[in-house]
Amino acid sequence: MERELALEIVRATEAAALASSKWIGRGQKNEADDAATSAMREVLGTINMDATVVIGEGELDEAPMLYIGERLGTTFGPEVDIAVDPLEGTSIVAKGLGDAMVVIAVADKGALLHAPDMYMDKLVVGPNLKGKVSLDEPLESIIEKAALYNGKRIEEVTVIMQDRDRHEHFRQAAMNMGARVKLFEDGDVSAGIAAAVKSNPIDIFISTGGAPEGVITAAAVKALGGDMQARLHPMNEEETARVISMGIEDPLQLLTLDDLVKSDDCIFAATGVTSGELLDGVKFLTDDIVETTSLVMRSKTKTIRKVVAEHTLSLKPYLQKQEVNA
């Protein structure tokens, strides 16, 4: 892939973040998602690449744009697969809470797992634990290894997981050992990435959440030098059949980081919408100046860039429209 592609992709995440930020705290998650999706697709169409959406807003009959199989870009450039989440945390934006962001993963064609829209068990750790833990071992064992290899006491190890009843056994196991537990409501891409950042106080991410989000997370984890394992979690015979149709003979196969992202050259980009664990959200500095903060990472070079940008735009037409609607 062209190295210039990494910074071009950021333009798309910035545009989606700016578009969705107008809906922060307005209680309208669908409108926020639609705005982000439209803005992202418009910018992606201008980038010199021949891209196919492998993880997007849904199948063709479910989504008018950024649907699975849609081709994007000018077609003059590298042939790639892309996985997108135009607004990771639609409910977060609607409620005005933290940790909403826009994310895109790009890899060589055929490199990203075409994960179906179902649950996936996920484990993410940082570089110090790469190759040393398994999703199949008890959480207590993973915590002990995190303390050993990260140079901490058990009491200093932090495990992050989604605040759901299905994770109660993980929460109790961690707390019984004396480890710290950090819960989040929505948006597990941000939480998963945080566990892979070496300087972040979070040591372990463990949760059962969306499989598409798991593949996007894997692209970032690969760029950060961390490790991830996953297992698809079909809930019925129909979902089991879908997994088998993808070419995975054993629906309960343990998926490694290289199974999730087969290429050593992938790009991950994210722009914050509301401030959270990884990124600052969109900041309205004046009526016409808006600031965004983004991360863009490339696994081949292990380059991690933080991009803080100021955008000049007029919000007056939007504000006038709100006054009329009111």
Annotated binding-site residues for substrate read 88-90, 119, 164-166, 186-188, 210
Measured CA distances, 212 to 83, 93, 141, 153 (Å): 8, 20, 27, 34
CA–CA dist 316, 320 (Å, integer)? 6
Q: Which amino acid is at 153?
A: R
Longest dimension (CA), the chain: 60
Helices (H), the chain: 4-21, 29-44, 90-95, 139-149, 168-177, 188-196, 211-224, 237-245, 257-260, 316-325
Q: Which two tokens stand for residue 285?
A: 């500095």
- Cα–Cα separations (whole angstroms), residue 218 to 5, 202, 257, 310, 325: 19, 17, 6, 29, 42
- Bridge partner list, 3: none
Taking the C-alpha atoms of 146, 150, 153 and 157 in order, what is their torsion angle to the nearest 10 degrees?
Answer: -50
Residues annotated within the binding site are 33, 57, 85, 88-90, 119, 164-166, 186-188, 210, 213
d(CA 226, CA 175): 24
Q: Annotated binding residues for Mn(2+), as ranges?
A: 33, 57, 85, 88, 213
